[in-house]
Amino acid sequence: MARTTRHPIEALGAKVSLSRPGEDGYAAATSIWARPSGRAPVAVAHCRTATDVQEAVQAARTNGLPLSVRGGGHDWVGRALCPGLVIDLTPMRAVTVEEGGDVIRMGGGALAGDVFRAADPIGRAAVTGTVGVVGMAGLTLGGGYGPLTTRFGLALDNLLSTEVVLADGSLAIADEGSNPELFWALRGGGGNFGVVTQMRHRLHPLASVYYGTILYPVEQAETVLSGCAALLATARDELTAQLLLLSGPAGEPMVMVAPTWSGPPNEAEYHVAPLTRLGTPMAVMLGTNAPGAANSLFDEFAVTGQRVFIETRLLPGLSPGSIGALVAAVATRPSPGCAIVTHEFRGAAARVPVEATAFGLRNDHILVEIITVWDGDSDGNTGADAVAHREWAKATSRALAPFALPGGYANMLVDDDPERVRASFGPNARRLALAKRRFDPDNVFTNAIPLPRDREDERRKVVARLGALR
C-alpha cells in the first residue's frame, strides 16, 4: 500500500491552525494590498496566541523554511508573504483600553481601525497613519507618520512596551526597563528582531479633530504647494496638512490639501482657513469628527489585490526646484493610478533626540511618497504597464534627488541600494546592525524592511570565503 508523503511542516498543524494552498483560510491570509508575484507560501500558521507564534518560528527553523509575518498586509513590497511559512497574526486583533484611559493594549494583528473603534468613544486618540486598514505593528515598528505626528510624535514614539517572539523561539518583554536595547531597535528597525505579538501604546485626550480636503485645479499646483509650504513652516504643532497630486473622478489631475487641526475646536477655522485661500478651490470639504474618521480618510484607495510600486524621498522642505519636479511628474504620469502624497515631520516628532530610537532622521522634513497602482491582470510585474508605472516612479524619484536628504523612509525601501538604506538610519546605522547580529544572528526574520549591512560581518564572510579557496 502506497504511503502518502507529508510535508515536514504539517507536524505544526497538530499544535497550531495551519492551512495550505486550496484549504480554508489560506486565500484570505495570502490576500494582501499589493498583489504578490512569485512562489506561493508553503503554508500559513493562523496564530491566536504568543505560544502559537513560538511554535511556528521553531517549526520554520527546524524545517529550514523562509519565514514571514502577516499583520495588516499593507506593505507595498508584499513582505507579509514568502515562499515558506507565513505567520498570520490576523486572529490576534484584540484591543483593550487600560484602566485610566491613557494606554491601549493591542494584539500583533490589530489594524489602525481597531484602535480607533476602541479609543474614539472615550475621547482618546492614538498616533496612527492615514489609512484605517494598515496594521499597527508594521506601521509602528518602521516609523508611523500621520495626522497627529506634529503634535504627538511618530507612532513609534508612542510605543510603551512590546511582547515579542525572538528568533530562537523565546518570548520577551521589551520596554525601557526590560531588554532596552531590543526596545530601541524595534522602534525604527521594523520586524527584523522578532514577531511582535502585543503592544502597548500611549493614548492622548482628543475627542475630535477638524479635518477634510480642499481641492484645487492642477494649473494652480505651483502656487498652492509653495503657499502651503510657507504657511506650515510657521504653523502650530496642532496643525498639519498632507499635499496630494492625484486624479479626480474622471481621471483629471488635481491638487488636494488635506489638513488636520487637533487643537482647541474653537480655533480650528482660524488656523485652517488660510489653506482654503491658496488659490481658487474647486471644492472645500471640512468638518469636525472623531480622530478615527480623519485617520481613515483614504481607506477607499487601499483596495486589496492591486499591483503597487512606491518610491520615497525625504525633502528638507518644498523649494521651487522640488515643486517644479513634482508638477512636471504629474504631467507625465502613465495613468490615473499615479499619485504623489506628502507627510509632514516637525514639531513633537522633531524634538525627540535621534539616538532615543533607531529611527534615523529627527530634523524637520517632508516625506514624499511616489505611488503607482495598476491592475496588471495580464502582465503582472513585468509587462508594459508595469514597466511604465515603475519607470515613472523611479524618474520622479531621480528628479527629486538633487533637492532631497540622503536615504528615504526605511519602512518603504527595498534592499537594492545599501548606501541609501544606511543613510536612512543616519547615526543609528552601526548600532542597528549590531542589534541585528545580537538578536537575530541567523537572519531568521529576513523578510522585513532593509537594515544597514553589518560591514564587519560582511568582511568576516569575505575572509572566510577567501580562506576556503586557498
Domains of the chain, each with CATH number or no CATH? 9-88 (3.30.43.10), 95-205 (3.30.465.10), 209-418 (3.40.462.20), 427-441+454-470 (no CATH)
User: Consecutive sets of 10 residues in the chain, 470 residues long: mean pLDDT of each?
Assistant: 60 92 92 84 97 97 95 93 96 96 98 96 95 95 97 98 98 98 98 98 98 97 97 97 94 96 98 98 97 84 85 97 97 94 98 98 97 73 84 97 96 92 97 97 96 68 51
8 Å CB contact between 137 and 105: no
Residue 110: its pLDDT value, please? 98
pLDDT of residue 385: 87
Q: Is the dihedral angle over the CA atoms 150, 153, 155, 158 positive or is it negative?
A: negative
Q: Identify the pLDDT of residue 453.
A: 87
Are 158 and 126 in contact, with CB atoms under 8 Å apart? yes
Chain centroid, CA 458 distance in Å:
28
What 3-state class would DSSP assign to 418?
helix
Write out the DSSP string of 256-293.
Answer: EEEEEE-S-GGGHHHHHGGGGGSS--SEEEEEEE-HHH
- Report pLDDT for 378: 46
Q: Cell numbers at residue 300, please?
A: 477607499
Strands 43-46 and 17-19: antiparallel
Strands (E) located in 89-238: 95-97, 103-107, 124-125, 159-165, 171-175, 195-202, 204-205, 209-217
Rounded to 5°, angle at Cα 151 from 145 and 154: 30
Place of cell 507560501: 41
What per-residue confidence (pLDDT) applies to 1? 44
Contacts (Cβ under 8 Å, ≥6 apart) of 436: 185, 189, 192, 193, 443, 451, 454
Can you give the pLDDT at residue 462?
42
Coil, strand, or helix at residue 314?
strand
* Per-residue confidence (pLDDT) for residue 467, from 0 to 100: 56
Beta carbons of 298 and 244 less than 8 angstroms apart: no
